[in-house]
């Protein structure tokens, strides 16, 4: 699948902002099943400087400053992405979840980049509720991917998608108690449950192509950012260096309609846009995302 992604974030401030410093994670990752043909940012007012760097988790990040008074900030990210479905993985071929957890609990230099996704993180603390949730899914000796898929399906079944129930600041413990929320909440709960058993799980930010209801036109800007999870199988020959994607919101293993932007311990590591301002007062934020599938003949013209 080939996509043009347009992600527009608009901040409207009640008062003038004198200085603004910002960090963005808006550039999709280059992966074995995902190629980035183009990506650029448009910033208004004009930024003093835009610096690109690779962060600790291997994501392409950017930082910029605006040093002129402004009451509106508009950041537009445009990306051309080619995406393929990853090869399917048979869950029974993955090691038992106890074996994987045991390996991650030992000092193993080959797993040093995986172990950091076992410990608690700013938005996913080690809660006793996680250990109690989905206890029946952790069958002794069960393959790790079988267990992870079962927990994912349980969350999808027992939680109700409700965009009004939570906000980006809602603690994961509250989302777990409510059994309501959005993709961020579903993902943080899944991460917390897997980590409580000694497994490595990381947060994935990205986009999901959505389709309009039958007979309805496709609305530009009606898509949204999305979030899902990756679990490590303990076998680097499986998936992406051992990582397998899980989407608890849709109860599926992500395929060609999921576009990966960034990995982190939780949302705080990969927020699309965050920063510090001097002045401004209260602010209103509007986000518009458009994920457009491109016909083969249109690709070179986009």
Question: What DSSP character marks residue 224?
Answer: -
DSSP SS3 for 132: helix
Distance from C-alpha of 45 to C-alpha of 42, rounded to nearest angstrom: 9
pLDDT of residue 7: 97
Q: Is the pLDDT confidence value at 30 over 60?
A: yes
Where does CATH 2.60.40.2250 sit in the chain? 2-84+271-301
Where does CATH 3.10.620.30 sit in the chain? 91-267
Contacts of 245 (CB under 8 A, 6+ apart): 86, 204, 228, 229, 230, 239, 253, 254, 258
Residue 219, beta-bridge partner list: none
Give the fold, CATH level 3, of 91-267. Answer: C8orf32 fold (3.10.620)
Chain segment 153-191, per-residue pLDDT in tens: 999 999 999 988 888 889 999 999 999 999 999 999 999
pLDDT bin (cut points 50, 70, 90) of residue 302 is very low
Distance from C-alpha of 204 to C-alpha of 263, rounded to nearest angstrom: 5
Chain segment 246-255, per-residue pLDDT in tens: 999 999 999 9
pLDDT of residue 108: 72
Percentage helix, strand, coil for the chain under 3-state DSSP, each rounded to 5 = 25, 40, 35
Average pLDDT in the 202-231 region? 79
Distance from C-alpha of 108 to C-alpha of 117, rounded to nearest angstrom: 14
Give the fold, CATH level 3, of 2-84+271-301. Answer: Immunoglobulin-like (2.60.40)
- φ, ψ of residue 132 in degrees (nearest 5): -80, -25
Other beta carbons within 10 angstroms of residue 71's beta carbon come to 16
DSSP SS3 for 208: strand
Report the sign of the C-alpha dihedral through residues 277, 205, 95, 140, in that order: positive
Q: Is the pLDDT confidence value at 227 over 70?
A: yes
DSSP SS3 for 76: strand
DSSP code per residue over 135-189: GGG--TT-BHHHHHHHHHHHHHHHSEE-TTT--TT--HHHHHHHTEE-HHHHHHH
Other beta carbons within 10 angstroms of residue 208's beta carbon come to 20
What percentage of residues in the chain have a pLDDT greater than 90? 80
pLDDT of residue 301: 43
Token couple for 144: 């790790």
pLDDT of residue 213: 62
Spatial CA neighbour of 194 closest among 84, 97, 87? 97
């Amino acid at each position: 699948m080939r996509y043009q992604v347009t992600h527009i974030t608009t901040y409207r401030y009640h008062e003038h902002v004198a200085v603004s410093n910002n960090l963005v994670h808006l550039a999709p990752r280059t992966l074995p099943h995902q190629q980035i043909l183009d990506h650029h940012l448009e910033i208004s007012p004009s930024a003093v400087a835009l610096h690109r760097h690779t962060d600790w988790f291997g994501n392409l990040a950017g930082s910029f400053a605006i040093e002129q008074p402004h009451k509106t900030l508009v950041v537009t990210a445009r990306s051309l992405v080619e995406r393929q479905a990853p090869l399917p993985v048979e869950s029974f071929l993955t090691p038992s979840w106890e074996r994987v957890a045991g390996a991650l609990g030992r000092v193993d230099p080959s797993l040093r980049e995986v172990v950091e996704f076992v410990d608690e993180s700013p938005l996913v603390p080690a809660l006793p509720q996680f250990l109690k949730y989905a206890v029946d899914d952790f069958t002794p000796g069960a393959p790790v991917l079988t267990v992870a898929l079962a927990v994912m399906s349980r969350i999808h079944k027992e939680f109700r998608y409700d965009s009004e129930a939570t906000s980006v600041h809602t603690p994961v413990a509250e989302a777990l108690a409510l059994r309501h929320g959005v993709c961020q909440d579903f993902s943080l709960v899944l991460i917390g449950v897997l980590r409580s058993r000694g497994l490595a799980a990381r947060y994935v930010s990205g986009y999901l192509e959505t389709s309009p209801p039958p007979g309805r036109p496709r609305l530009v800007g009606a898509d949204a950012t999305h979030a899902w999870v990756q679990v490590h199988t303990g076998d680097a020959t499986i998936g992406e260096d051992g990582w397998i994607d899980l989407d608890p919101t849709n109860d599926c293993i992500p395929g060609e309609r999921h576009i990966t932007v960034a990995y982190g311990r939780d949302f705080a590591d990969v927020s699309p846009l965050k920063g510090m301002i001097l002045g401004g007062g209260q602010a209103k934020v509007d986000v518009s995302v458009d994920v457009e599938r491109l016909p083969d003949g249109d690709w070179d013209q986009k």
